[in-house]
Amino acid sequence: MAEAAESPGDPGTATPRPLMRDLKAVGKKFMHVLYPRKSNTLLRDWDLWGPLILCVTLALMLQRGSVDSEKDGGPQFAEVFVIVWFGAVTITLNSKLLGGNISFFQSLCVLGYCILPLTVAMLVCRLVLLAEQGPINFMVRLFVVILMFAWSIVASTAFLADSQPPNRKALAVYPVFLFYFVISWMILTFTP
């Protein structure tokens, strides 16, 4: 009742509440990905803020540090951004064509939020790369990337599995596997 008495034009009270509400919703969805279980929360309350934040963060971390980045052979920000969004759109269209009962934006939301483990893997790999290059360094990065790759697959299939007809689940999961594999490969092959 006290909220109704506040004036709608007051910038001190109106602005932070929707922002905090959205940040809390994104945080709850991150927790759903970190602890994947069969739940429709990610599907019911979809948004694209979390996937956008994760995609931008991953693209920035994959960015090379050289001044003339055209010659270093690494992915540029736009390339990573396009790969992530084009891949998610392609998987979503595949899901719809296979007869899935999930909306376009719900699928994009789930696929985008499930990049969180791979973003964590990229952060760990960047920290490991601060140490000396060597076989142990590579083995640690390989272990982390494989673990987070599996986590992304498990999290996304926990949310998307029930949206596909039973006889077409493998056809829907295979592109998801390829999508996260490409992102994992970019993370594993990154060298500063």
Q: How far apart are CA 101 and CA 126, in angstroms?
A: 39
pLDDT tens per residue, range 2-48: 444 444 555 555 455 777 877 787 777 777 777 776 656 556 777 88
Q: What is the pLDDT of residue 6?
A: 47
Q: How far apart are CA 163 and CA 100, in angstroms?
A: 5
pLDDT tens per residue, range 8-18: 555 555 455 77
Q: How far apart are CA 107 and CA 66, in angstroms?
A: 36
Q: How far apart are CA 186 and CA 52, in angstroms?
A: 18
Q: What is the pLDDT of residue 4?
A: 46
Those residues of the chain that have pLDDT short of 50 are 1-7, 14, 66-68
pTM (2 decimals)? 0.79
Helices marked H in 15-163: 16-34, 41-44, 49-62, 77-97, 104-113, 116-128, 135-160
Residue 94: exposed, middle, or buried by beta-carbon count in 10 A (0-12, 13-18, 19+)? Answer: middle
Q: What is the pLDDT of residue 150?
A: 95
